[in-house]
Structure 1
Amino acid sequence: MGQPCLSGGTLEIFLEAVLPPVLVHVYGDSPIARAFTAVGYQLEARADPPAAIADDTSAVLVASHGVAEEPVLRAALAKGVPYIGLIAGRKRGAAVLARVEGGERVRVPAGLDIRARTPGEVAVSVYAELISLRRHRATEPPNVITR
């Protein structure tokens, strides 16, 4: 597309959309938490250090192997973070969420079921779920809730 130029020539303008990175709050210092941060870097997601949850956080992942999980989950729920995931088996996850009001919004086990075993595979499964949910929300009517 050309724009007329006062000097008689044309000026071509190319626009490339640059979207802000997804902000992911990773809580824990486990191998899975470290893998989640590393994989996120490759996907241009910005991993937040384990401090207070920022207002523009898109996802919170708790991967601390049972250390102070409940306060982080409560904080994420109170902030209305769109995706909250707990790295835990179904049995332990259910026990943790039974003590957290609104725990039904927390995904446990977090990630798509791709039979992940290694920390990197678990991180990929969680990011795959985040991507899938984000794409579905962009194409669905506003009141549709996806699980």
Structure 2
Amino acid sequence: MIMRNWRLFADSWDYRYQAYLGCNMVPVEHPHDKSVMTYRGHMAIETLIRCYFSPLQSTAQKYIYTGSADGRVYVYDSISGDLVEIFAMKPSGLTRDVRWHPFEPTIVSPDFYGKPRVWQRQDKEDKLPGTERVYDCREYS
């Protein structure tokens, strides 16, 4: 009977509105995991978060970029898996989808309600990989 109840819970769990009890758990590798690479740092809570390779024309797809439940945009090195850059602004809910302009150093990410945000680099000095940079982020209605 307990197993039957557990199966019902596991089969009907919906990540969009039900709490995920494993948020604070230490990551565990599954013995049958066939992943080629794992990227850590961003959060996927309550919705599907998409990720993409950076444009072939301007970056040779060197990076993987993704939105996050914390409202930021994360950029990873696709070969090493290192976190390269974090695009951050005031807390604004989650960033579900992101698009990188094929030729310009510009990223567009809509907020959860579809309001677009355009990210363009503002500071010129190099910073350590994985640190937040200052960006000019314009929001449109």
What interval of TM-score do these two structures reach, taking the shorter chain for normalisation? under 0.3
- Greater per-residue strand proportion: 2
Larger Rg: 1
TM-score (norm 1): 0.23
Structure scoring higher RCO (CA < 8 A, sep ≥ 6) equals: 1
TM-score (norm 2): 0.24
